[in-house]
Amino acid sequence: MIKTTIRDENIFDHKTDCLIIHCPEEKTPDDFLKKIDARLQGAIGRAFKDKRFEGKLNQTLLLNSNGSMKADNALLAGVGKKEEIDAEKIRQASGSAARLAEKSCFKKIACYVRSGEFKTAGRKEAPGAPDAMACATAEGMYLALYHFDAYKSPDKDNDKNRVGEIVLLAPDKSRRDAILRAVDQAGKVADAAFLARDLVAHPANTATPSFLADTARAMARKHGVTCKILGPAEMRKLGMGALLGVARGSHEPPRFIVMEYFGGGKKQAPTAVVGKGVTFDTGGISLKPAPNMDEMKMDMSGAAAAIGLMQAVASLRLPVNVVGLAPATENMPGGSAIKPGDVLTSMSGKTIEVLNTDAEGRLILADALTYAARYKPKAIIDLATLTGACVIALGHEAAAVLSSDSGLAEKLKASGAAAGERVWELPLWPEYEKALKSDIADLKNIAGPSVGAGTITGAAFLKAFAGDCPWAHLDIAGTAWTGEDKPYVPKGPSGFGVRLLLNYLQNNA
C-alpha cells in the first residue's frame, strides 16, 4: 500500500508536488475555492468563467502555483452538485485526480479533506467512526493507483514516475483520529480488492486451481480465517459429480476451497458467499471461438472476489459470521472431458443433462450451493462470470442480480450503489425454471435458443440447488473486467464484488 500520512497543516503551508482539492459543481468558485483562487491570481475564477472547469464529476484542472503556495501544483477535482455528493462521487473524483497526478509524474501528492463543507460525503457518522470523506478519498486513490507488474521486466523509470506518498490534510486536529481510522479502513479494503484483481490478472498457467487454493490458504493463515481445501478424493466422497464432471477434461486437479470466519455470535447463522472459479474456460467440447479466448482466464473472478472478501472481513474484524466457498477447476476439451448429452449426478442427488459443456459454471456452482446449504446460512450469495447474455443485457456498467428473496435483492442493490459496484435486478419467474426440465434427467444445463433469456435461465438452474434459505445470484460477466480505464478501476480486472459484499455484510449481517 502507498505510504499515507495525516497532517493537520495549513493548506497553504504544506509542501508537496501536487495538492488535490475537491470542488463542487458551481457557476463560480465557492467560498473555500475563492481563498485558493486569491493565491493563484484568479486562475480558478477564469477557468470557471471560460467553462474550462465547472466542478462536474471527474472534471480535473491542473494549475501551477508559481510559488504562491508551498504546493508546486494545485489539482482541482470535480465532485458534481453539492447536494448530490456521496461517497461514490468522492471515490471517483479522488481516483481521477490521483491517476492524472501519476500521469504527470508527481511522486508525492496531498489532498485536503473537506469534511465540513461536504458534510460526511452523504452519510451520517457515528462517534468514533472513520471519517467518511477521508475514507472515500483514500479508497478512490488507492484503487486508482493499482498496478500489476508480476510479469514485466524490472523498470526503474516506471517506479520513479509513480506516486510514492499520499498526505491527507486534516481540516483541524479534532478530525485527525477519525481520518487515521479512515485511512486504515480504506487500506484494508483496497488490499482485499487488489488480492482479487491480482488473482484475475495472473495468466491461467499460473493461476491454476491449486494456485487459487494455495493463495486462499496463505490469506487465511495471515488473517485468522479457517481454511480447508478439498481435492478430488474428498469431492468424490461428497458426491460432487457436477464439479468433477467439468474437471474431467483437464490435467489440473480441481480444488474446492472452504473459508470460514466466525466473528459474530455463536448462534448467529453465517452468510455463505460462493464464487465461481473456472481458472480457464475453453468451453470444453462445446469449444469457444478463438478470438478473445485469452480473456477466459478471468472466468474465476467470482472465486477471486470470494477470497478477497474473506480477507477484507477478517482484516477489519467485522462482528459477522461468513463462509466463503470457491469451486475451482479448468474447463478443457481433453480426451476424458464430458460431452454434450452426458448426464452428471450432483451432490444434491439431482441429475443434470449436459447439453452444452460451455455452460460449465452453473455445474460447479450447483455442488458448491448444495455444500453451502449445509451451514444453514441466513443467506447464500453467489458471484459468477456466468453468461455472455448478461453483457448483452447490461453491458459493463452493472451486474445482474436474481434472487429467491426480494428483500435480499434490494439490500444488494443498495450496497452496490453505496460501493460503486452497481447491480440491476432481473426477474426469476416459474416459466424460466420449467424451461430447464430434461427429458432424461432432472434438469438440463441450458434452456435452448427458443427460450432466450440466458442470464435468467442460468440463475433458474442455480436456484434448484440453493435450498430453502434466501439466495441471490450475481452475474458479474460484464463487470469483472474492464477494457478501458475508469476513475478508480484501471483497465483489466476490477475486483468487482469485494466492496459490494463487504458493504452488505457491514450493514446487514
Catalytic residues: 288, 362
Determine how β-strand 271-275 pairs with β-strand 321-331: parallel
Rounded CA-CA distance 458/355 in Å is 13
Question: What letters, b where the CB count within 10 A reaches 16 and e where it falls short, cover 218-248?
Answer: ebbeebebebebbebeebeebebbbbbbbbb
Rounded CA-CA distance 51/27 in Å is 9
Rounded CA-CA distance 62/74 in Å is 6
Long-range contacts of 132-135 (CB under 8 A, 24+ apart): 132/87, 132/182, 133/90, 133/182, 134/168, 134/175, 134/178, 134/179, 134/182, 134/183, 134/186, 135/87, 135/182, 135/183, 135/185, 135/186
From the CB of residue 284, how many other CB atoms can be counted at a distance below 10 Å?
27
CA 474 to chain centroid, in Å, comes to 12
Determine how β-strand 443-444 pairs with β-strand 423-425: unpaired
Rounded CA-CA distance 170/1 in Å is 20
Residues contacting residue 174 through CB under 8 Å, at least 6 positions apart? none
> DSSP assignment of 299-353, as one string?
GGHHHHHHHHHHHHHHHTT-S-EEEEEEEEEEE---TT---TT-EEE-TTS-EEE
Grid cell listed for 277: 472459479
Grid cell listed for 486: 475508469
From the CB of residue 423, how many other CB atoms can be counted at a distance below 10 Å?
27
> DSSP assignment of 165-214, as one string?
EEEEEPSSGGGHHHHHHHHHHHHHHHHHHHHHHHHHHS-TTTS-HHHHHH
What are the C-alpha distances in Å from 179 to residues 98, 183, 372? 18, 6, 38
Determine how β-strand 379-384 pairs with β-strand 471-475: parallel
Grid cell listed for 403: 434472487
